[in-house]
A = this chain, B = another copy of it.
Amino acid sequence: MRTLQVALAERSYPIHIGAGLLDTFPLAEQVRGNQVMIVTNETIAPLYLERLTPHFSGCQCDTLVLPDGEAFKTLETLESIFDALMAKRHSRTTTLVALGGGVIGDMVGFAAACYQRGVDFIQVPTTLLAQVDSSVGGKTAVNHPRGKNMIGAFHQPRLVLIDTDVLASLPQRELAAGYAEVIKYGLIRDPDFYHWLETNNERLLSRDTEALSEAIYRSCDNKAQVVADDETEQGNRALLNLGHTFGHAIETATGYSKWLHGEAVAVGMLMAVNMSVRLGWVDAGLEAGLADVLAQWQLPVATPAGMTPDQFMDLMSLDKKVQNGQLRLVLLRQLGEAVVTADYDAGALRQTLEAFCGT
């Protein structure tokens, strides 16, 4: 087991990474009260729920199984979590356990932020995307029909428990979606990691457990550093959003039902790099290399059929990074150096949108 720390003063917490932790980690010791509710989804429950419940045999342990998918990351589903907590009389000393991917983690974290104005929660991410990104850092949310992650809170978990064995059961499409966020860390702040990923691409594609573990560790290490430096995104944390402004527009346009988040981020990153090339900030070779890697992982390198530049502009105008009417974008100054800026040539943005929409 390897452990990283997210350093946030009294809200600091560990990320434990290792094979088999679902069974072996002493989870019950992390629970401060005598009530636990494990929230998971229909896909994950049959695989892992029964391995988690025995940890909590010493206290009231309830379980809630939600439908699977980003389309259910809504206020309505959130309400069903509150209903279950109230029905089972969970008090302010309860602990919620989020067992699942990013959707479960974001939603259960938000429920924990709001239930009785805040209760403990533990992240047990079961997808690569959740392990390397969404489970770390305390961003919680549900979607609004008009915009992704628009309703939420900053609420840090008590710990993040990453069992690398669970990736064995993950469909290739889900693994690839998570891999997009792994590449992101290399692009925005860790060129050594980016080159390591290039070198080890074959091992990672073939699910070499040692390589995947290392990729998870280095991703979490990057994320933990960014979050410790800027918990509530007053500044540099926004850099983690490389590709996300374009990606969120795609997710919203497709009703949160056709594209996985990581898939939308993949093409979004490529768009951000494409625009950075047009601005003369990075070399076209970087874009070509990125497109090549994404294609090898069978990640999308084009926007959904039918989306137009105007639709992108409309949806992106609701992005959380908009300030006083100005859309700020995360772009690359060079490999490993991202900036969030509203100071770009609007023509370059238009050209990128037109190139990807094929107009």
Decide if A195 is an interface residue (CB 8 Å cutoff): no
- Select one of B33, B86, B232 contacting A118, CB under 8 A: B232
- Select one of B33, B79, B146 contacting A86, CB under 8 A: B146
B interface footprint on A261-287 (CB within 8 Å = 1, 0 otherwise)? 000000000000000000000000000
B interface footprint on A106-147 (CB within 8 Å = 1, 0 otherwise)? 000000011111100000000000000000000101001011
CA distance A322 to B87 in the complex (A): 15
- A82/B116 contact (C-beta < 8 A), A317-B89, A325-B34 known: no
Neighbouring B residues of A87 by C-beta, 8 Å? 146
Most buried by B among A34, A151, A322: A151
Neighbouring B residues of A321 by C-beta, 8 Å? 92
B86–A323 CB distance below 8 A: no
CB distance from A357 to the nearest CB of B (A): 22
Decide if A351 is an interface residue (CB 8 Å cutoff): no
Decide if A44 is an interface residue (CB 8 Å cutoff): no
CB distance from A298 to the nearest CB of B (A): 33
CA distance A320 to B320 in the complex (A): 33
B115–A151 CB distance below 8 A: yes
Which residue in chain B gives the minimum CB-CB distance to A233?
Answer: B117
Which residue in chain B gives the minimum CB-CB distance to A75?
Answer: B79
Q: How many residues of A contact B (CB 8 A)?
A: 39
Decide if A153 is an interface residue (CB 8 Å cutoff): yes
CA distance A352 to B94 in the complex (A): 29
Decide if A152 is an interface residue (CB 8 Å cutoff): yes
Decide if A93 is an interface residue (CB 8 Å cutoff): yes
Which residue in chain B gives the minimum CB-CB distance to A86?
Answer: B146
CA distance A322 to B325 in the complex (A): 46
A144–B89 CB distance below 8 A: no
B152–A117 CB distance below 8 A: yes
B91–A150 CB distance below 8 A: no
Find residues 191-250 in chain A having any chain B CB closer than 8 Å to their own CB: 232-233
Decide if A154 is an interface residue (CB 8 Å cutoff): yes
Which residue in chain B gives the minimum CB-CB distance to A152?
Answer: B117
Decide if A324 is an interface residue (CB 8 Å cutoff): yes
CB distance from A101 to the nearest CB of B (A): 20
B322–A91 CB distance below 8 A: yes
Neighbouring B residues of A93 by C-beta, 8 Å? 323-324
CA distance A297 to B226 in the complex (A): 56
A324–B115 CB distance below 8 A: no
B153–A113 CB distance below 8 A: yes
A positions within 8 Å CB-CB of B:
33-34, 75, 78-79, 82-83, 86-87, 89, 91-93, 113-118, 139, 141, 144, 146-147, 150-154, 232-233, 317-318, 320-325
| 25 pairs, CB–CB < 8 Å, chain A vs chain B | A33-B324, A82-B150, A82-B151, A83-B144, A86-B146, A89-B317, A89-B318, A91-B323, A91-B324, A92-B320, A92-B322, A93-B324, A114-B152, A115-B150, A115-B151, A116-B320, A117-B139, A117-B141, A117-B153, A117-B154, A117-B233, A117-B320, A118-B153, A118-B154, A153-B153
3 nearest A-B pairs in the assembled complex, by CB-CB distance? A86-B146, A91-B322, A117-B152
Known contacts A114-B114, A153-B153, then 13 further A-B pairs from the complex at CB < 8 Å, ordered by chain A residue: A33-B324, A75-B82, A89-B317, A91-B318, A91-B322, A92-B320, A92-B323, A93-B324, A114-B153, A115-B150, A116-B152, A117-B141, A117-B154
